[in-house]
Structure 1
Amino acid sequence: MNAPFAARPLVADAPHVDDLLVAPSREKRRLQCYLALLVGDIISVILGFSVVGYVFAAREGVADSLVHAQLILPIFLTLALYNGAYSIDALREAWTGIFRAMLAVVIAMAVVVFVQFLIKPGTDFSRSVFNGGALAAMLLMAWTRLQLRSFVRWRCGASVINELIIDDGGPQVNMRGAIRISAAAMELKPDLKDPDALDRLGLILRNIDRVIVSCPGGRRAEWAMMLKGANVDGEVLDDEVARLGAQGARVVGKHGLLLVSAGPLGMRDRAIKRLFDVTFAGSAIIALSPLLIAVALAVKLQDGGPVFFMQKRMGRGNRFFNMYKFRSMTQSLCDKDGNQSASKNDQRITRVGRFIRGTSIDELPQLFNVLLGDMSLVGPRPHATGSLAGDKLFWEVDLRYWQRHCLKPGLSGLAQIRGYRGATDHESDLVNRLQSDLEYLEGWTIMRDIKIIFLTLRVLVHDRAF
């Protein structure tokens, strides 16, 4: 069996950025395993009912039993998707997945029987075929899932998730299958005032599902805050957890672990959000292509400079990405670091730029950022690293600022539809936006994203766009 990855040896010299990947993604491997379990369950239900139907009434019985299977399947799959029959726990422990799948079959049977009782169909309902088929389906399901254990081990190895232990001078933690790195060797430090340090941590945490930091007590708070914006389940070691027997915390060996961060969206929600982003952004680019071409020509003809303005912004997991906009300022005066916010009578802004900024047309190239996966349609707006609120950098106003990076940044968000946009002349301008962004992180739903997009149409033209 080939191991899915091997931990890189630590060296004294600082590694190159390209070498910061400590593990390949296991998410696609898990999806393959979920799909294998799903197909196996469907085949088990169909085959189980077919065999029982054939035993009771030969070919005619097969046709009748398949009707039962068709009634059971959609209800079973809906229940199984929500009760964890296709989850990390099910991949870890075969019998956990088997129990949850069987529970879904039993509940699906009860629903079908109840519906049959209510509608009282004219056709005879063979209880023997129905009950026997369900029992055969559950037995086949258990057998199939046990046989698929070798497939799960082949795709995911001994552990179905990537766990990373960051050793920053705390007690040594031993966990089977976990990757261990030295914070000193990888030049990791819990410095909330250094965006480059946050970006470096984000690069190392690519493809990591859970990270554990072992550090002295004096650095736990800083590490906890670093992890809150990393879009990963993060834990810090605190042996008081083990001594006190604290509830809601993990104990590994003799060490206690406190959960200090978690990804805000599960796999299903992320898939829904991404599908919506790609569909909407792709359609919008096609529909708005005449406008995009016209604006590009106008910007080019204005002064002959580049059409697009590209600026480094901080996105999900505190990682940098290049955000695109139509250039609205004179080429020689563009502020790539965002140290100076645009003002109402800003002399740097061109005539074309003033129009496209006032109508938010300059933001349309970010639809390509959405397609690239750097941004989402809805989420906290990405800010330049040098942005100021009054005379302070954004994160100096409130350290919770970094928490907003646990989701992809968006073209629009709650702050924008509430009117919190434009220059941040005062600290309160940032605080209002931050409160809205943190509110958005709680309880995500696709319907709220759709609502925000429609409400954004009302504020495309606004008096704070300059």
Structure 2
Amino acid sequence: MSLSEQHAQNSDYPAAERASEFIADGALSEAALQVARNLKRRVLSPSLLALLVRLTDFLALTLCGAIVCAVYVASSDGFDAAYIAAFLILPLITVGLIGLFGGYTFAAYRRSIPEIGRGGGLWAAVLGCFTLVIFFLKAGHEFSRVWAATWFLAGFAVLTVDRLIFARLVQSWIRTGVLERRSVLVGGGPEGVELLKALENEPLSDIRLLGIFDDREDARVPALASGLPKLGRINDLVEFGRHAEIDAVIIALPLAAEQRLVQLLRTLWVLPVDIKVSAQSMKLRLRPRSYSYIGSVPFLDVFDKPIVGWDSVAKRIFDVVMASLALIVISPILLGAMLAVKLDSSGPVFFRQRRYGFNNEPIEVLKLRSMYHHMSDPAARQMVQRGDPRVTRVGRFIRRTSIDELPQLINVLRGQLSLVGPRPHALGAHTHDQLYEQIVDGYFARHRVKPGVTGWAQINGLRGEVESEEEIRDRVEHDLYYIENWSVLFDLYILFLTPFRIISTDQAF
């Protein structure tokens, strides 16, 4: 897709539901506001595509094994449990290995021929290892050699067909904008012009450039001749990134401008996007592994968006399954607490508060009401303190035991929260008359992932009232550590420790 076609697409998209109520007129240029409002909600994401291809490979290999078994083996001897285990486990291992070797990435979809060889090689390796195992276990008599050979050939065939079909589909989806990496260019000087020319020669690139951010006057930004709009000054980019669903920021500045690059990176790293520096105009060529590529165009990856691709799918599945089970298990406790809140004082059972969600998007968090209704403080103007007269009798108990947080499992099922992540703070949260973002440099970097019901900071005793600037710095430091070191096992560890930390803490009241 050419840059002029991209620009036309930017303005032709129908208004999305996300047309942000949070964008203040005048905060961004009219061009930036228009692009932010008109971006479509994604129908197909790279992570969803990877899941689809994995499932297709797994089902195709499994069905091949089952069909061959049904035709050649089961017709005379019936289905055996050993065969069933084989045509379930071996495809699962194969799909895992293909993913481990990068077979479910955009780059893999664009080079289908090498990937056919890689997929076929891994399939052969898995069946080869299976053959060795049954040989050493002296279990060869339990399996038909004709079945194994036929399954291998059929499996290689379906993996080949899968690669060819998805390669064509992905190319088509990239051209039509169904699959794309929404990006903005920082710097419209000679380096930006050179980068744009290089990207023009990559017809299968999944990069869709929305516009340019540059501090210079339009007449001094030669990259505008490409047809891309100027969306604002560089300082406007963080605001734009909070309201437009973008994937990457590409910086095209001379690497000799070290001080300017460092300043830019300190500003932009709070956004949940990939941040790349164009290496197109670099005279010094580093080792190939130092770069990432879009086609043949080299980039230096400075920051990567956290928890993406298969990781984001795994985390979402984990959240939905665990939150559903938790709601079932704790439903008697939750219903009893709701009744106690209702009987203890007049007012609604639930307390709703607007807090920072993913990428600073305000969300409405549910809690059981723990304060007298007429004294509730949804704007968090005054932190709850020990012996606070605003807290009801029941409220003291449910706050200390964190039972008031249980309705947030509903936020998890809605997709607004994760089970584990940085705790969401109220929009006006502050200490000593200073907002948290004014105290901690890079505070908003904790919003690069979904906030959580519990988190790394909380199980380390950092919960309850924030009494000093050092405490909020410690919490943000723990949140950033969690983001950089996330894994499903880390989430399980935090969930396991959470009940014990709740019981032992004296920081909640």
* TM exceeding 0.5: yes
Structure 1 residue 40: Cα displacement:
4.4
The separation in 1 between residues aligned to 2:87 and 2:326, in whole angstroms, is: 42
After superposing the two structures, state which structure 1 stretch, 253-262 or 389-398, moved more.
253-262
| Residues in 1 aligned to 2:175 and 2:51: alpha-carbon distance in whole angstroms | 14
**CA contact 2:185–2:209 (8 Å) conserved in 1:** no
Please report the TM-score for the alignment, with normalisation by the length of structure 2.
0.74
Structure 1 pair 120/402, CA: closer, same or farther in 2 (3 Å)?
A: same
Q: Does the CA-based 8 Å contact 2:238-2:268 persist in structure 1?
A: no
Amino acid in structure 2 at the alignment position of 1:439: Y
Q: Using a 3 Å threshold, how does the CA distance of structure 1 residues 343 and 273 change in structure 2: closer, same or farther? A: same
Check conservation: 2:110, 2:167, Cα contact below 8 A. Answer: no
Amino acid across the alignment from 1:204: A
Change beyond 3 A, Cα 1:345–1:180: same
Q: Which residue of 2 aligns with 1:245?
A: 285
User: 1:199: how far off?
Assistant: 6.5
- The equivalent of 1:232 in structure 2 is 273
CA RMSD of aligned residues (A): 4.1
Cα separation, partners in 2 of 1:125 and 1:244, compared to 1, 3 Å: same
Distance 1:408 1:143, change over 3 A: closer
2:116 to 91, 94, 98: 98
Asked if 1:282 corresponds to 2:324, the answer is: yes
List runs of 5+ in structure 2 lacking aligned partners.
Answer: 14-28, 200-204, 215-229
Question: In the alignment, what sits opposite 1:337?
Answer: 379
- Aligned residue identity for 1:181: G
Following superposition, the deviation at residue 408 of structure 1 comes to: 1.4
CA contact (8 A) 1:230 1:316 kept: no
Alignment pair present for 1:268 and 2:310: yes
Tell me the equivalent position of 1:464: 507
Are 2:35 and 2:210, in contact at CA under 8 Å, matched by a contact in 1? no
Q: In the comparison of the two structures, how many residue pairs are matched?
A: 452
User: Could you tell me whether the CA contact under 8 Å between 1:44 and 1:138 is conserved in 2?
Assistant: no
Q: Which residue of 2 aligns with 1:291?
A: 333
User: 1:349 is matched with which residue?
Assistant: 391
1:368 to partner: Cα distance: 1.0
Q: TM-score, normalised by structure 1?
A: 0.80
Equivalent AA in structure 1 for residue 241 of structure 2: L
Change (3 A) 1:453 1:158: same
What residue in structure 2 maps to residue 115 of structure 1? 133
Note if contact 1:200-1:319 (Cα within 8 Å) is conserved in structure 2: no
Question: Partner of 1:288: helix, strand, or coil?
Answer: helix
- What is aligned with 1:366? 408
Alignment correspondent of 1:427: 469
CA 1:73–1:314 in 2, change beyond 3 Å: closer, same or farther? same
Contact 2:109 2:163 (8 Å CA) reproduced: no
- Partners in 1 of 2:78 and 2:102 — Cα distance? 31
User: Structure 1 201/293 Cα, relative in aligned 2: closer, same or farther at 3 Å?
Assistant: same
Supply the AA of the counterpart residue of 1:388: H
Q: Which whole-Å CA distance do the structure 1 matches of 2:142 and 2:369 have between them? A: 72
Q: Is the 8 A contact 2:249 2:275 kept in 1?
A: yes
In structure 1, give the amino acid aligned to 2:359: G
Aligned residue number for residue 164 of structure 1: 182
Deviates more, 1:88-97 or 1:157-166: 157-166
| 1:33-182 matches, cutoff 5 A | 33-42=53-62, 72-121=90-139, 123=141, 130=148, 134-135=152-153, 137-139=155-157, 141-157=159-175, 161-171=179-189, 172=192, 173-174=195-196, 175=199, 176=205, 177-182=207-212
Q: Secondary structure at the match of 1:264?
A: coil
Deviation (angstroms), 1:366:
0.9
Q: 1:204 aligns with which of 244, 255, 267?
A: 244
Flag the 1:96–1:386 CA change in 2: closer, same or farther, 3 A: farther
Q: For the structure 1 residues 390 and 256, does the alpha-carbon distance in structure 2 shift closer, same or farther, using more than 3 Å as the test?
A: farther
Q: CA deviation at 1:167?
A: 4.0
Tell me, yes or no, if the aligned pair for 2:11 and 2:35 is still in contact at 8 Å. Answer: no
After superposition, the Cα gap between the structure-2 partners of 1:189 and 1:9, relative to the gap in structure 1 and judged at 3 Å, is farther
Partner of 2:17: none
Alpha-carbon distance in 2 for matches of 1:30, 1:76: 15
- Measure, in 1, the Cα distance between the counterparts of 2:447 and 2:59: 36
Q: In the alignment, is the contact (CA less than 8 A) between 2:50 and 2:309 conserved in 1?
A: no
Tell me the CA shift for residue 145 of structure 1.
2.8
